[in-house]
Amino acid sequence: MKRFLKWALLVVVVLVVCALGAFLYFIPPFFTTAPEDFGKAMAAAAPGVDGITDPAERAIAARGRYIVMTTGCIGCHATNGPQGPDLTKYLAGGGIKSVASQATYVSRNLTPDKETGLGRRSDDEVKRVMRSGVFPDGHVVAVTSMPWGAFSNWSEEDRHAVLVYLRHLPAIHHPTPEPVPGNAITASGAFEQDHAWHDYGTAEAKPIR
Amino acid sequence: MTTLRSVLASTVAAALIVAAALSVARARVEAQPRGKAVYDKHCSECHGADGKGDGPAAAYVVPRPRDFSGGKYKIRSTDTGSVPTDEDLVRSIRQGLYATSMPAWDRILSDADIQDVVAYIKGMSPQFSTPPKPVALGAGTPSAPASIDRGHQVYDKLQCGKCHGNDGRGSGAVTTDFQDDKGQPLPAADLTEPWTFRGGATSRDIYLRFRTGMAGTPMPSFAEAASDAEMWDLANYIVSMARKPVWSMTAQEIADLYAKQDAEAKANPVKRGAHLVNTLACATCHSPIDDQKRVLPGMRLAGGVRFRIEPYGEFVTGNLTSDKATGLGNWSDDEIKRVITRGTLRDGTRLLPFPMDYGSYSTMTPDDLNAIVAFLRTVPPVSNKVPPPKYKWLIPYLWGKFNLLILGGDPPMTIFSGNAGTKGGAQ
């Protein structure tokens, strides 16, 4: 009887470990989700423009939506969860990306929220980040963190369309960390952290051939 | 007595000149550290640490940032071959250069900062030892229908349409795809979109571009081919060519404009594909960088960037050039589109949905996908064999997942400098 209990306990423990392992293995369900479903989820998550009353503004915002959606802004400007990027908080920021030997970045909230999002920023300030990577405090965000060098190739009219779309997103109150000089995590501050590049060197990088 | 006085006077004058020159030189030297501080903080990401126009962002932006060591400037109010005046440089920094990634700095930098950084930039090129030769600017010709008509004739006489098109937007041009003197792409300006004119869109700005030429570009000076009056008439004509920008249009006009742009994109898929690849930031992950974060020479889109993504493993970005052995040269159109929209490689390997965000890319229209493939076919081959993905072994993978999901660790994505691929010889 005692021996049976011992065996039963062992089986239960093994089962629990296997179950936990399988649970961990299958979330996030990247490889059990059909590839097409990622695209459907992305298209469904991007808020539509039908609610915009002014027809000219609606037409421009539709162009902006296409650019924002296809460029994959949500890939960085979302909080990562067990299911991948949190698509319910569309473009509300908070995703963390690190760049070797350089700095750790936290993506910003792009929704029109007045306290934590782009509601704080003027049109010119938003366009300037997209065009030149220059933040309102004057620092230039490293092109390896936000690829603004690519977005600077949008035509001025397309950049305007992206801005119009961002202005019509539902506002989400979602604070993201502010840059703190000397802190390992800054919201954008390659500048404060740039010395780290030299401190760590490129020991992990392969030699250039 | 007169001799003595004149000797004295000339000595004093000479001493004053020397003192003035010394103080100017000292002011210049004193401005250098301040100018350097401003430059390093605000300018070096594009223009590079030593002003060669090769900063980390340089490889991604069209047009490329200015190389200050050459002393060649497009936007000047000075004779052909001359350096710009300080006022020209200050103006470009204050206002920015429209339709480039050079922003207007006037809200961020003080006038003193701008003066200091101008002094610092001038120190980067020996050409500035020769003083600038500003052009004498007349009163100009006010815009009037007669002047615009004459300007139209000058446009035809000078054959502006050979590069800019008869309608100012490329129709009937021999070609609009030009290069600057560094071999970088530089399309002819669309003259109906004045908000893209780098140096401004007033008749005075436009006149100066004809008069002085744009150094380092195929745009010459017309000072000898046309009279001053003709150039002012031409400037008035160019101003009159402007179309409405999208932010001033009605819904119908916007629909027409977008339909026209879509038709042009469909007619020229390679050009559209180049624009998409440039704006979708493909090159940011698919071009290896050095330890200064600059794209390795000749390696744009050649892959080889190593990513470590916890808890999955290590992955190297693919070679997107048309190389047959190591790039996309032997891939069929459908195979390329399958990676872009479904993250599935030729051998059936599934990619993670990030950083290669195929979910987002799959929302592109079929025309745009075809355009991207058409453009990638034209990328010159670079032999760079990238290693296959290295997924983690099961137990470290499960431990990484446990750490990430149960203990709440941050999912770190680390990008490494250097080329993790094997660069081959000539094909």
Interchain CB contact of B185 with A (< 8 Å)? no
| C-beta neighbour count of B76 within 10 angstroms | 27
Q: Tell me the domains of chain B and their CATH numbers.
A: 33-125 (1.10.760.10), 145-243 (1.10.760.10), 246-270+330-376 (no CATH), 280-329+380-427 (no CATH)
- What pLDDT, on a 0 to 100 scale, did the predictor assign at position B354? 81
pLDDT, one tens digit per residue, over A108-151 is 899 999 999 999 999 999 999 999 999 888 888 888 878 999 99
End-to-end alpha carbon distance in chain A:
68
Q: What average pLDDT score do residues B171-193 get?
A: 88
Interchain CB contact of A96 with B (< 8 Å)? yes
- Which tokens in the block code for residue B260? 């026209």
| C-beta neighbour count of B27 within 10 angstroms | 11
Please tell me what DSSP assigns to residue A167: H
**Closest-CA distance of chain B to residue A95, Å:** 9
Interchain CB contact of B49 with A (< 8 Å)? no
Instruction: Burial-class residue B364 by CB neighbours within 10 Å (0-12, 13-18, 19+).
Output: buried
How many contacts does A have with B, using Cβ atoms within 8 A?
A: 212
Q: With beta carbons less than 8 A apart as the criterion, state whether A155 and A95 touch.
A: no
Range from A28-37, B236-245, B310-319 carrying the lowest mean pLDDT:
A28-37
- Which tokens in the block code for residue A127? 């366009």
Interchain CB contact of A121 with B (< 8 Å)? no
Q: What is the C-alpha to C-alpha distance for residues B92 and B76, in angstroms, rounded to an integer?
A: 9
**Closest-CA distance of chain A to residue B132, Å:** 29
Interchain CB contact of B173 with A (< 8 Å)? no
Q: Identify the band that residue B138 occupies on the pLDDT scale cut at 50, 70 and 90.
A: confident
Q: With beta carbons less than 8 A apart as the criterion, state whether A47 and A90 touch.
A: yes
- What pLDDT, on a 0 to 100 scale, did the predictor assign at position B233? 96
Q: What is the C-alpha to C-alpha distance for residues B138 and A110, in angstroms, rounded to an integer?
A: 48
Which amino acid is located at B68 in the chain? F
Which amino acid is located at B294 in the chain? R
Among B43, B401, B404, B405, the strongest candidate for a mutation testing the A interface, having the largest count of A CBs within 10 A, is B401
The residue whose two tokens read 């350089």 is A102
Q: Is a pLDDT exceeding 60 seen at residue A197?
A: no
Please tell me what DSSP assigns to residue B384: E
- What pLDDT, on a 0 to 100 scale, did the predictor assign at position A199? 23
pLDDT, one tens digit per residue, over A142-184 is 888 789 999 999 999 999 999 999 999 999 999 887 544 333 3
Please tell me what DSSP assigns to residue B295: B
H/E run at residue B27? helix B2-42
CB contact under 8 A, A75 and B61: no
Range from A16-20, A123-127, B123-127, B400-404 carrying the lowest mean pLDDT:
B400-404
End-to-end alpha carbon distance in chain B:
86
**Closest-CA distance of chain B to residue A3, Å:** 30
Q: With beta carbons less than 8 A apart as the criterion, state whether B207 and B235 touch.
A: yes
- Alpha carbon distances (Å) from A165 to A52, A122, A160, B360: 10, 14, 9, 17
Better pLDDT: B100 or B292:
B100
Complex ipTM, two decimals?
0.89
